């Protein structure tokens, strides 16, 4: 299946303030219309590896059986969170500066605009499920640290060590290389001859400084839900919270429009409310692909004025209520990819690298 935009007539009409004014007070309201029926149910994730495919299979099982979008999103996110090889999400995620894995996740329901999130959650493999319970079973949006863990325990989540051997070794190498002046390091490091080939053989690159997953779904009723889950910036300061659990930054969902999620440097995403911005742009009638690109443009326009050497790492994915989707990233040697599952089958969709401008 191709993104449906080309097959459908894209009509937008300005109607002045009114519908949706409570949610989007600053925009005049616009009506999105399409010819033909929407593609639903459908589920997408920013993950494009084999685990992303397995996650889509799991979410699709729920949707195919008539299940709701939130349950499908949770099932899919749990698959990615449980992958020990994935050093950016859940179990096996890279730890903070002290070697402790602290997870962030958010969940949002586009029908009720309810949301739940956890930040700096330790020892629980599936933070997205805890975030979903915060959304469904509390009157709050965000629980952090010890409070989030206590909440998870009350709901029967099992505590376990999330630091895999792979993640521990990567962390240890980071710690040893952090400074030539501290007391940590291999003999080579300590003698300041660190470029020796042997030192780099086992871990030639510490690649995953960022990494997260977004899962967004529309069920057969047209209800939309989304989740963003991550181990966050690797080696972050203890207690650092990224964009993933911040509603409007790492995730936003609105049944009347669609949903968007972010990965990449959370600090940029928080300051630009990027997911909310993408949904606002889609409400204006802009296609998801274009809306993702425009969010990148918005961030670049702001921060390159201050720092001309600003080359951020964000990647956005979005879907509108018609089942059209897109993704864009700001850096990368190859175009960003995402996974998509609908009654048309599974596909890996390729977005574009936008506004990089890197020489």
CB of residue 152 to ligand ASP, shortest distance in Å? 19
Nearer to ligand ASP, 67 or 266 (CB): 266
Nearer to ligand ASP, 56 or 120 (CB): 120
Give the x-and-dash track for 275-314 against ligand ASP (CB under 6 A): ----------------------------------------
- Cα 331 to Cα 174: distance, rounded to the nearest angstrom: 23
Q: Classify burial at 121, counting beta carbons within 10 Å of its beta carbon; exposed 0-12, middle 13-18, buried 19 or more.
A: buried
DSSP sequence for 331-343: S-SS--EEEEEET
Residues 262, 314: contact at Cβ < 8 Å?
A: yes
- Cα 249 to Cα 263: distance, rounded to the nearest angstrom: 10
- Cα 51 to Cα 288: distance, rounded to the nearest angstrom: 24
Nearer to ligand ASP, 251 or 282 (CB): 251
CB of residue 211 to ligand ASP, shortest distance in Å? 5
Nearer to ligand ASP, 62 or 270 (CB): 270
- Cα 163 to Cα 166: distance, rounded to the nearest angstrom: 8
**DSSP H or E run through 153:** helix 145-154
Sequence-distant (6+) residues with CB within 8 A of 198 are 188
- Cα 251 to Cα 325: distance, rounded to the nearest angstrom: 15
CB of residue 118 to ligand ASP, shortest distance in Å? 13
Count of residues of this chain found to bind ligand ASP when the rule CB under 6 A is applied = 13
123 binds ligand ASP (CB under 6 A): no
Binders of ligand ASP in range 210-269 (CB under 6 A): 210-212, 230, 232-233, 242-244, 263-266
For helices 274-283 and 288-306, what crossing angle results, to 10°? 130
User: Computed over its alpha carbons, how large is the radius of gyration of the chain?
Assistant: 20
212 is catalytic: yes
- Which residue of the set 126, 212, 228, 263 is catalytic? 212
Give the x-and-dash track for 156-195 against ligand ASP (CB under 6 A): ----------------------------------------
58 binds ligand ASP (CB under 6 A): no
CB of residue 236 to ligand ASP, shortest distance in Å? 7
- Cα 318 to Cα 261: distance, rounded to the nearest angstrom: 6
Stretch that binds ligand ASP, among 122-130, 131-139, 171-179, 205-213 (CB under 6 A): 205-213
CB of residue 351 to ligand ASP, shortest distance in Å? 16
Residues near ligand ASP (CB under 6 A): 210-212, 230, 232-233, 242-244, 263-266
Catalytic residues: 212
């Amino acid at each position: 299946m191709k993104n449906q935009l080309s097959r459908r007539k894209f009509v937008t009409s300005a109607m002045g303030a009114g519908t949706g004014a409570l949610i989007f007070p600053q925009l005049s309201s616009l009506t999105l219309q399409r010819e033909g029926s929407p593609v639903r149910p459908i589920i997408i994730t920013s993950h494009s590896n084999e685990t992303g495919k397995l996650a889509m299979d799991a979410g699709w099982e729920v949707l195919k059986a008539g299940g709701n979008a939130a349950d499908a999103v949770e099932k899919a996110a749990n698959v990615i969170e449980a992958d020990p090889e994935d050093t950016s999400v859940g179990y096996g995620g890279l730890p903070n500066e002290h070697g402790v894995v602290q997870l962030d996740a958010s969940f949002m329901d586009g029908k009720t605009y309810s949301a739940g999130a956890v930040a700096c959650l330790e020892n629980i493999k599936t933070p997205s499920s805890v975030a979903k319970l915060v959304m469904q079973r509390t009157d709050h949006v965000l629980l952090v640290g010890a409070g989030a863990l206590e909440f998870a325990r009350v709901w029967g989540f099992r505590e376990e060590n999330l630091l895999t051997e792979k993640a521990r070794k990567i962390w240890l190498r980071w710690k040893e290389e952090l400074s030539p002046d501290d007391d940590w390091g291999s003999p080579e490091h300590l003698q300041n001859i660190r470029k020796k080939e042997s030192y780099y053989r086992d871990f030639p690159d510490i690649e995953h400084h960022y990494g997260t997953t977004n899962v967004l779904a529309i069920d057969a009723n047209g209800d939309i839900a989304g989740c963003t889950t991550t181990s966050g910036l690797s080696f972050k300061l203890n207690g650092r919270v990224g964009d993933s659990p911040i509603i409007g930054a790492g995730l936003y969902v609105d049944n009347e429009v669609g949903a968007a999620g972010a990965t990449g440097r959370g600090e940029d995403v928080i300051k630009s409310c990027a997911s909310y911005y993408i949904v606002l742009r889609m409400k204006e009638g802009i296609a998801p692909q274009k809306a993702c690109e425009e969010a990148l443009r918005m961030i670049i326009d702001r921060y390159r004025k201050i720092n001309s050497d600003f080359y951020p790492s964000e990647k956005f994915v979005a879907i509108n209520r018609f089942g059209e989707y897109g993704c864009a990233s700001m850096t990368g040697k190859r175009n960003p990819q995402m996974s998509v599952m609908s009654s048309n089958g599974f596909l890996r969709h390729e977005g574009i690298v936008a506004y990089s401008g890197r020489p």
